[in-house]
Chain A
Amino acid sequence: MITPYFVIIPLAAAFLIPLVSKRKTGPAVLLSLASTFALVVLSGYAFFGRSGETLVYRMSGWKLPVGINLVQDAFSSFMLVMVSLIALTSLVFSPRYIDRLGGDAKYYSLFMVLVAGMNGVVVTGDLFNLFVFMEIAILAALALVAYGGRAHEFEAAFKYAVMASVSASLILIGIAVAYSATSSLGLATISRGLERQSPILVLWVGGLFMAGFGLKTAAMPFHAWLPDAHSSAPAPISAMLSGVLIKALGVYVLIRFFYNVLGAPPLFLQIFLVLGAVSIILGVLLAIGQWDIKRLLAYHSISQIGYILLAMGLDTTLGMIGAVYHMLNHAVFKSLLFYNAGALETALGTRDLREMGNVSKLLPVTSGTSLIASLSISGVPPFNGFFSKLVIIIAAVQAGQPLFAFVAVVGSLLTLASFLKVQKFGLRGGRPVERLIGEVDGGMKTAMILLAALCLVTSLLIVPGIRETTIDPVVKVIMEKTGHAQIVLEK
């Protein structure tokens, strides 16, 4: 059984790192890279080798109504692949960038705790266990946001921490209500128990979780903390936060809870649709006005999360394909964009687009990969963003929601406009830059090239033939709805 190792490996690495590397960061880098690489291999095996199976692991051997169990199906494996890939590239990007911030081994230790928390949220089949892993990931993320030790980083981390404590309280009350109604904490048993309860109770539980995990997802009315936290963190951490944290803790849990536990109640799907549409438009409108490149990217995260929520709300198979596919694509291109921003910050010493200029000669890798990422996020073929947005728009039209399809198209055009601005001012502007103050080293280039290649490779996932083995099993798990609980209980 491989499931528990997704938590054991990063957790063991996190606590070994401070023991083995006292002054130098060399052993810490090696150990964290080795363990994330092991996670990539393991999750790749789980996703491609054991796809379509539902693995249930009983902690300490206790069966379901009593014990905690870990459930790993195609959707969990998909998320694990995503988390491990982005974590690996982020660690490859990190060493030079973190040295510049006066980094030490604690960074790598916290990073591995973050990975452990996210992996735990994804593989667990128990509501309270999910809460605990979520808090582990959030605490590590808070410490990492404040890692640079400058005033605005503490400010962002404080805001983020207050938001996290509010959402944790809401989720805890939600767990309390669910527990009092069903006398169990396993997701599968809660699903069976809530079927027999009154709809009012489902409304309570759903509402509390919607608010709690909505705060983590940063959909539009709950978004206030995101631009601060994601733009203040060190660049590799911004990539982790925007790329995978809001998905593993937000979108994944929302899909898992509202589809596989509550069985997709129409009222909440309607809310997802509206939240998604509002996030798409307002997020991108706020992004256009920004001059700080990382802040602009952070607002785009809100907008792109809107696409995923909108696709989730359609309640069709095609819509869910779009949501899952866009989740992966957004993780890839948004992480790449944050690496570009980090490389530009290292090389030029500024994050303000107006102070940048033409760097395409001096930084060919950064400007090349940022062009690819910008085209991806704006939805230009043949990059991955185009295909997932196309799927979402077609799904919206087919589901009889042409208005929301229109919103998605408009959002995409505005995204293109905003990234034309980034390219014009930041990377290919008229003002020539003579000299760089820092060097973009091999690790940074490797990470960026790797993700730029992934931008092209992941666009193949939608091709018939490949889709059947990759995205279709994931969507099948989600669209089983409460039937999933039956499968888990029979194991």
Chain B
Amino acid sequence: MAVRIFEPGDDYVLNHCTKYLSRAGLPPAPGDDARNESFRARIAEAWRFPIIGFMRDADADPDLNLVTFVYKTSPGDPRQVQVLGTFSELYRSISLAPVRFEDQDTGYRALSVGIPKAQVHTYKYVVDGRYVLDPINPQRVILGNGRPWSRFFTDGYLQPLVLEPWEIRLLYRLVEQILPFRGKEAENFLKRYYFGLNREQRKTDMPKAFRLDDSVGEVNAIDKFLAREEAHRLADYQLCLRQIDRALRRQNPVLEPADMPAQDFVELYEKMAKSHGSGDNPIPGWNYDEYGNPSFFLYILRRHAVTAAFAHPKYAGNVGAAGWAYLSERYSDPAAGTLFDWRPAIERPIGTSAYYR
């Protein structure tokens, strides 16, 4: 599998990495895990690496993301830095090139490659022949041989990355208590909407929608937020979904939680909303030592659910812009037409803008 290498230019790299990586001190030497972890933890937005951008050349494939690997070392460091990953042949590492500013070495080493959207990959850097994890990107995964690798995923990835199947099933049921997409009327809308997409969109979006259980893909997007931008919230989900599973079983000992009627979820939702700690409307079955504030988790879930449903489709929720289309159909005027005409502002093929790409 040959990977396509692109050269967006040193300015592109600096404009996308300096704000996050410029800081006092240099990265510790590879191999010193504790110091490397401490260095990485101080980078406020380390999750932005590698940079998942969009293709810039006019003739480039729109189904690719421009993925830019950035390694930081000191200016003038003579060591070779390469990257080895599942996006290319695993026997061939590819060199990162020095990034220059005003003809001076900045210490950044970078490589940009085109990688298809909706993919996940693992990689390592090779620094002077030594294999190291990406010292910046916090995404790690333990592969079958027990070894950790760095990981990234491209836009619109649809498989779960960090949540377990049972967690996802439970999350679907919780999210449907918040968002309006599971009512009869809304379900009918979504079916009409997905069948009504043009041919090109139907080919790409309808399978996603049905794989995502007729929803607008909120749970998948939440999984992606927890894998990258909001990895700090993954523990909240893991701890709370366990408590929720336990509380639901206490409430209804007959059915599996994911199969329980909506009323069971409503009941638990209401209990969680009222419980801010073990001494405050305690929920039977909830272990407050493991997670002390059920209502706080509801707050996070509410923000995530609505963000996932109405953010740009590239975040893998709002599939085919169905969340926007729902608003567009619900709010219309017989004379003026829709009162949320979002399409002309948004790039093709999701929207219809003639100018914005």
Instruction: Say if A and B assemble together.
Output: no
Which residues does A use to contact B, with CB under 8 Å? none
Which residues does B use to contact A, with CB under 8 Å? none
